[in-house]
């Protein structure tokens, strides 16, 4: 009894310190694709290694990249972590290509105890986006959230939400999927988030309709790999060639998003080789850019996103820590994360 009360009190205390979507200084980082390997950086570490400091608030597990694979189940890929093709001790659920990542389940719970939220990102550059929206939404709920299944990749760990990083046309009805997820979230016992990662040209070709028609909590806008609207164009006169947060703000002000209070995040690559080198900006440049946007757009600005963890933590200074520190100077939430 004593223990139960203690745990409840502790959980309440942690909740106070935990993720706050209304902050203007949240740091989101994609983990899972080990892209630093392409720059000869150290391999990404297991998820839990990034939860001991106060840099990251949101970790996006990338990716669930095949929506409907063998046996009708989705397929995950986290590069060097939980790779059953290279590590014979990683179990795969029978009749599927869905791997069983118990170590990640333990890490997810540990990170959540530290006040971070863990979202599963669906999509990526090489995704297979073909599934029935009703079947797939129920599967996501059963496999990763509060539903139940014999095939739970992270065991009893429950992720905090879903990120949609669709970079091509989807054969699945994405709006139906999103609406289903939001309905399922309401049946749960905790707070869940639905997020999306559009490219910067507004409106995004693959996620524009989603943002306009479904409730999305946060948009991690990729101001990279898009040429004219990249971070590297920040500070240039608006149109035809400028980092275009102002357009997203216009859309926000116009109430063009189904969620009129959607939080917008400024996405960057965390290293010159993490994406198109021409869209990369240095830690100092990005820090200054974030501080200006945070000041200029207080109603929509939610924080920063970077791709990916291996580049951020493999760089000196740590790209994510530098961005987080810059945002904390103008944070509404001082003391919550630091």
Ligand X SMILES: *[C@@H]1O[C@H](CO)[C@@H](O)[C@H](O)[C@H]1NC(C)=O
Active site members: 167
90 contacts 101 by C-beta, under 8 angstroms: yes
* 53 interacts with ligand X by CB under 6 A: no
| Nearer CB in complex with ligand X: 208/330 | 208
Q: Which of 89, 94, 186, 335 binds ligand X (CB under 6 A)?
A: 89
* 316 interacts with ligand X by CB under 6 A: no
Q: How many residues bind ligand X (CB under 6 A)?
A: 10
Binding residues among 234-253 for ligand X as defined by CB under 6 A: 247, 250-251
* Closest separation in Å from C-beta 15 to ligand X: 31
| Nearer CB in complex with ligand X: 151/285 | 151
In whole angstroms, give the CA distance from residue 67 to residue 167.
Answer: 14
29 contacts 332 by C-beta, under 8 angstroms: no
* 255 interacts with ligand X by CB under 6 A: no
* Closest separation in Å from C-beta 255 to ligand X: 9
| Nearer CB in complex with ligand X: 84/285 | 84
Q: Which of 15, 87, 187, 278 binds ligand X (CB under 6 A)?
A: 87
| Separation of first and last alpha carbons in the chain | 32
* 37 interacts with ligand X by CB under 6 A: no
Label the pairing between strands 193-196 and 117-124.
Answer: unpaired
* Closest separation in Å from C-beta 150 to ligand X: 18
| Nearer CB in complex with ligand X: 87/261 | 87
* Closest separation in Å from C-beta 206 to ligand X: 17
* 278 interacts with ligand X by CB under 6 A: no
Which range touches ligand X (CB under 6 A), out of 84-92, 180-188, 221-229, 321-329?
Answer: 84-92
DSSP-assigned letters across all residues of 139-167: HHHHHHSSS--S--TTTT---SEEEEEE-
| 122 secondary structure, DSSP code | E
In whole angstroms, give the CA distance from residue 25 to residue 336.
Answer: 10
285 contacts 322 by C-beta, under 8 angstroms: no
What backbone torsions phi and psi does residue 76 show, to the nearest 5 degrees? -105, 155
102 contacts 153 by C-beta, under 8 angstroms: no
* Closest separation in Å from C-beta 185 to ligand X: 27
| H-state helical runs in the chain | 2-17, 102-113, 133-144, 174-186, 208-213, 245-253, 283-296, 309-314, 319-328
Give the interface with ligand X as residue ranges (CB under 6 A): 87, 89-90, 103, 202, 247, 250-251, 254, 256
């Amino acid at each position: 009894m004593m223990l139960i009360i203690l745990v409840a009190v502790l959980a309440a205390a942690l909740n106070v310190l935990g993720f706050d979507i209304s902050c203007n200084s949240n740091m989101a980082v994609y983990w899972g694709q080990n892209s630093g390997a392409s720059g000869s950086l150290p391999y990404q570490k297991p998820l839990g290694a990034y939860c001991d400091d106060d840099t990251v608030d949101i970790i996006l597990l990338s990716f669930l990249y095949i929506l409907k694979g063998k046996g009708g189940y989705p397929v995950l890929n986290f590069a060097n972590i939980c790779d059953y093709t290279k590590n014979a001790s990683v179990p795969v659920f029978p009749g599927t290509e869905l791997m069983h990542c118990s170590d990640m389940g333990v890490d997810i719970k540990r990170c959540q105890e530290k006040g971070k939220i863990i979202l599963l990102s669906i999509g990526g550059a090489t995704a297979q986006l073909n599934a029935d929206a009703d079947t797939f939404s129920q599967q996501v709920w059963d496999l990763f959230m509060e539903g139940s299944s014999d095939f739970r990749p992270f065991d009893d760990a429950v992720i905090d939400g879903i990120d949609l990083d669709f970079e091509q046309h989807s054969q699945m009805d994405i709006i139906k999927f999103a609406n289903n997820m939001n309905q399922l979230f309401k049946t749960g016992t905790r707070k869940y988030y639905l997020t999306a990662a559009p490219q910067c040209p507004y409106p995004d070709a693959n996620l524009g309709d989603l943002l306009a028609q479904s409730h999305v909590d946060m948009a991690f806008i990729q101001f990279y790999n898009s040429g004219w609207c990249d971070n590297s164009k920040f500070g240039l006169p608006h149109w035809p060639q400028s980092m275009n947060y102002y357009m997203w703000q216009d859309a926000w002000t116009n109430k063009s998003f189904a969620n009129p209070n959607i939080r917008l995040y400024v996405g960057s690559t965390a290293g010159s080789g993490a994406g198109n080198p021409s869209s990369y900006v240095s830690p100092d440049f990005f820090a200054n850019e974030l501080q200006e946007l945070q000041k200029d757009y207080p109603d929509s600005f939610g924080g920063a996103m970077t791709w990916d963890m291996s580049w951020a933590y493999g760089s000196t200074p740590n790209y994510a820590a530098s961005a987080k520190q810059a945002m904390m100077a103008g944070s509404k939430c001082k003391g919550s994360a630091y």
